[in-house]
Structure 1
Amino acid sequence: MENQYTYYKPEQDPQNQPNMGGGDMGRQGQHRKNGASKLIKTICLGLVFGLVASAAFQTSNMVAGKLLGKTSNTKQTETVSNTKLTTSSSSTVNSDIANIAKNTMPSVVSITNMSVQEVQSFFGGTQERQSESVGSGIIIGQNDSELLIVTNNHVVEGNDTLTVSFIDETSVEANVKGTDPNKDLAVVAVDLSKVGESTLDQIAVATMGDSSQIQVGETAIAIGNALGYGQSVTTGIISATGRELDGIDVKLIQTDAAINPGNSGGALLNAKGEVIGINTAKVATDSVEGMGYAIPISEAQETIENLMNQETKMKVDEKDRGYIGIQGVDVTEDTSKMYNMPTGVYVSEVSSGGGADKAGITKGCVITAINGTSVNDMEALQEQLQYYAKGETVTLTIRVPGNNGEYTENQVEVKLGSAGK
């Protein structure tokens, strides 16, 4: 089974995919003809039965009239031109889900990630291309100067710019507060001074629920920016709890509420309208339906609060960015299990005189975090480093191998240098 993260890229719009069912359409057409033929036969039999029944009914009425001494004059039915359908006097439908959606939508936002990616060109080389992907987020609080929004790490990773759109369709640029790739969580911040008064009046902070108390079979409501079209609502039930997916270091909630591309980072709610999960992924195969996943809010709470309280990250110009001074290799989950190593970045080479060398980092160490933000591969480490300038000091969490094959965790301060050092 293929696990598909549910952020959405417009160039992957499923409406633009070719129809691969041409052979089946021919057979379906034949079935339609056979079905239509049977339907016509059934209708004809119904008409015959109706005519016979009508004749019998009229005959019985005539006999009854003679026996009872009644007479009747045949009268043609007149068509009344002003006949109308009966309609309800109320235009409002009372629905618990409708009320929940109405109350929760102001706390859900759309997030647009503009990034630059390297793609293979027609001539075999690579070229940079601007890429856009969209996801969702949940307003979880604010501090003195910022509005704070939780989402998935995969919604914001690799971004050049992030844009948040609110319930009133106004949009504001956002910055990353903190990320945790292992749990696929991120918090982004919006400068309150850039949010208009009318928008502040319409948005709301979401109410968190207790995901540890949910039961299989209870109502689940998903809200998010499906396919980038804007907020939409789907409903279902909690299908299971404690599910595991590769690449996410937390046990997930499974639901059959539709989790579509663009729903990533959106809210999974209970019947009280409380957030019990952060939508993150779905199983995407032709043979599977209704298997979406969300990160339980109770298990994510400590991580989210840690990310909320980090310093907001502002990207540094590329020429000013700092470097640790290592060459690294990814330690994936498979590699970790095979060689009994922690996941992260394996230090394969240390640049002489660089920051890592001066800090005492040696070949064989595994870097697992930078300034409290976990990193599970070289890409994640490089993404974090783009927020720090040369000359700044960062704290690296490293795992140092011992003679018995066990790893010891240390915190090491590294002064960042220039490229190549």
Structure 2
Amino acid sequence: MRIRNQTHILLSCTLLLIGLLPIMAIGAEPSLLSIAAEKARHATVGILSPEEERATISGPAPFSVRGSGTHIGQGYILTARHAIEHQKGGKTLAAEAIQVITEHFHELTATFIGINEFLDVALYRVPEDTLPDIPGQVTFAESEAYSGDNVFTVGYPLGWGPALSFGRIGNPHTFLTTIQSRLLQVDLSACSGNSGGGLFNTKGEIVGVVHAIIQTEHTQGERRCSRFAFAVPGLIVQKIVQSLIEGHSLKFSTLGISLNVVKQDRHWAIAVKNATGPARRAGFKKGDILLAINHQPIHSAAQLKNYLIEHTQPEQNITITILREQETLNLNVILGES
């Protein structure tokens, strides 16, 4: 009899605790990360497929989301260039206007502000009178994202969302042939439709814009999912956005050299194949091996190009260290403009 009573008491206490759990959860304070995620979700929009792609024989089809975007304030919608492109007359063009959908299913028209083809960035703007339909906005982070940083993205993977995915920064100096600068390699779940969405830090600030994924999961048709995502770094995106808002394209530095990969003893290096413009005027010669730029070691052509894009400006005077016939030289170069 005692055992039965003790069991009954224990069971009653367990049920009481289970009953309290939802109440405790409801009353708990939200974490800073959850606040940041909510903020980013409110600022995220879906980029709709063009109406002609959605049309059916029987009439308009339900909306179809092809990409993601982020409201960065004053109606400006930031996304990826490839998320808003369309084919016309055999050419790939940026749409003059796009339709975006908010988390509350408001469909808004955003007009073209500008693009940067080299870094896969596009900027649009919705009318001021529609701003109340977008419940949030976000800003850019003031610092770089580093390996191991906790991040998340908000977007429309496989056309569904807004969905959140959490992960960490992997290699922040990854290079792909699809873009002219470095990319942040991110370990989080992403799919087709995440392109153009924001990559956020734990404060809900933009540290990148999703550019591409490497397919790691099987899906039907052209839809793809992955645990490897890549994002354009936020600081360079911010520079592009500012220039587009001001009405001009961001100019990048040019050096004027083409390079070869050569083997030097037991390691590979990059050597000058041809010098034109600024490099020629600075005295570069065929066969010069590049060692450093402004005292930063150079290991690849991609790394050199990235340094020029992120850390220099046209007409800046820089120093490049080279090896010429076993002699180390410092050449001063006044950079050109792309």
Whole-angstrom CA distance in 1 between matches of 2:112 and 2:274: 33
The total of aligned residue pairs comes to 223
1:152 is matched with 80
* TM-aligned CA distance change 1:245 to 1:155, over 3 Å: same
Displacement of 1:226: 1.7
**Identical-residue share of aligned pairs (%):** 24
In structure 2, the partner of 1:241 is 172
Distance 1:203 1:115 in 2: 25
Q: Tell me, in whole angstroms, the C-alpha distance in 1 between the residues paired with 2:2 and 2:149.
A: 59
Change (3 A) 1:175 1:75: closer
User: Residue in 1 aligned with 2:24?
Assistant: 90
Q: How does 1:170-319 map to 2 (within 5 A)?
A: 170-193=106-129, 195=130, 198-199=132-133, 203-212=135-144, 214-285=145-216, 290-310=227-247
Q: How do 1:63-102 and structure 2 match up within 5 A?
A: 77=4, 83=12, 84-86=15-17, 87-88=20-21, 89-92=23-26, 93=28, 94-102=30-38
CA distance in 2, matches of 1:294, 1:279: 4
Contact 2:96 2:111 in 1 (8 A): no
TM-score, scaled relative to structure 2: 0.58
Larger radius of gyration: 1
Is residue 270–residue 276 contact of structure 1 (8 Å, CA) maintained in 2? yes
**Higher relative strand content:** 2
> How far is the alpha carbon of 1:295 from its aligned partner?
0.6
Could you give the per-residue CA deviations for residues 234-277 of structure 1, whole angstroms, max 9, x where no partner exists?
11111111111112112111111212211111111112221100
2: CA distance, partners of 1:270 / 1:76: 54
Alpha-carbon separation, structure 1, partners of 2:245 and 2:239: 10
Q: Distance in 1 between matches of 2:120 and 2:159?
A: 20
1:295 is paired with a residue whose SS is strand
Structure 2 Cα separation of the partners of residues 258 and 270 of structure 1: 16
Deviations 1:200-228 (A, max 9, x none): xx52321210353x221111111112222
Once the 2 structures are TM-superposed, how far is the Cα of residue 341 of structure 1 from its aligned partner? 12
Question: Does 1:135 pair with 2:67?
Answer: yes
Q: CA deviation at 1:310?
A: 3.4
Contact 1:114–1:133 (CA under 8 A) maintained in structure 2: no
TM-score (norm 1): 0.47
Distance 1:133 1:205, change over 3 A: closer
The 2-side partners of 1:241 and 1:189 are apart by 30
Structure 1 alignment gaps of length 5 or more: 1-73, 118-130, 312-338, 343-408, 412-421
Partner in structure 2 of residue 388 of structure 1: none
Q: Is the 8 A contact 2:206 2:234 kept in 1?
A: yes
Letter in 2 for 1:106: H
CA RMSD, Structure 1 to Structure 2 (Å): 3.5
Report the Cα distance in structure 1 between the residues aligned to 2:51 and 2:179, rounded to whole angstroms.
23
SS in 2 for 1:256: strand
C-alpha change, 1:289 and 1:191, in structure 2 (3 Å) is closer
Aligned to 2:141, the other structure's residue is in SS state coil
For the structure 1 residues 160 and 176, does the alpha-carbon distance in structure 2 shift closer, same or farther, using more than 3 Å as the test? closer
| SS state at 1:240 partner | coil
Distance 1:289 1:108 in 2: 21
Residues 43-54 of structure 1 aligned to structure 2 (within 5 Å): none
Question: Is the CA contact (8 Å cut-off) linking 2:155 and 2:161 kept in structure 1?
Answer: yes
Instruction: List aligned pairs for 1:270-419, cutoff 5 A.
Output: 270-285=201-216, 290-310=227-247
Q: Quick one: structure 1 residues 215 and 160, their matched pair in 2 at CA, closer, same or farther if it must change by over 3 Å? A: closer
